Structure 1
């Protein structure tokens, strides 16, 4: 059944607004998913028509997610707090993490009803993964939620993920403060995995893609290298620092796109 036909009678989807495109559902469309509506596909296709490399950039972000989670496991971090986790697709954090460590713990947080409903279905029967319906801007509510505080051990390092999330917050000062609040609440030895759309790429026009997203309920705001790094508040970065997604410790058999318009980094939380 198409998602367009699944809203009526589904209590988990009562809050879905199908009058405006959702960033999470448009992203799902770019990744080839089916959890999107006609309004999402329309703007998603318009952006692809203008910037054809966008779906490849979305896949590069997912590939960074996989490599970054594997890096965390290799460095003894097996707990993950994924803010704005989005609609489940192939290669979710819990799938990557629990393949390497079956007891890895993953707390997902999102406020998009479709993302939450599908995450509930996907995680049913998984005792080491949860989904919390919350606004990530409410730091205290997120960190005290049963699905977070009841699952993660805050006496051990946690990997915070904000992948393609901070780009939805236009105010640099407020966004930096939001990041700082999460950093100060997490235990020493934690890390922050982050990715963000940029207009800096010389080939993929991330600026145009961001401007066209203004029709969405949560529009995108592209940031340059310095503005992206500044969001992390001077936290030390894991090598190679701030780079494009395809350049962050690529696999030997690299099949990443040459360009992606997505900056990524891992910051250390001391």
Structure 2
């Protein structure tokens, strides 16, 4: 057997290490767990009473917690708590715990938009398709500016902000007097500054009729998730690392 110099052994070890790193990168990208996959944006957030399936993880450095607050069912008068999802209408998703099921098609009866939006789900209302709910968001730090878009608000004084940092004097509901738009596919934007927490009210439940469903987004939140590189970009980096290791091996073989 031929003896090998220390430099030759070191090069071989480096090649193996590069190959292992590349394999780990690619395996991590395609891990089945939604919480381990930074590109699996869609999912349900824990609003204080668990999730139908695995709870979606908030992007680090933005939202600390979100809590569902009670609202009254228009038909029964019963107190309800809503679920909250992040969803895009480009895909069809079904969430179930075996007893309760929420199914989102790649489209909606009336609340259709592009991109990722927070989607409230009122239990037992329109098969989970009524976007109604009240939520308190607590942030990980004070936000210098928070921009909130409300999509498809149709009912006056039913959608908007109930309080900022626990201060109800900053309450702002969408209404005609403020020149807010109402109706299908309309969008209204509200801005707030120095925000630690905020309470949002979305839509309205009608008795014995279809309700007013409203989705919303926080632009700063969307910026956090959109700043993560696309899978194709990461895959390109993985392939580049693999090619580099392969090239190193070929040079060593000469």
- TM-score, scaled relative to structure 2: 0.27
Q: Which has the higher helix share?
A: 1
Q: Which has the higher strand share?
A: 2
Between Structure 1 and Structure 2, whose CA radius of gyration is higher? 2
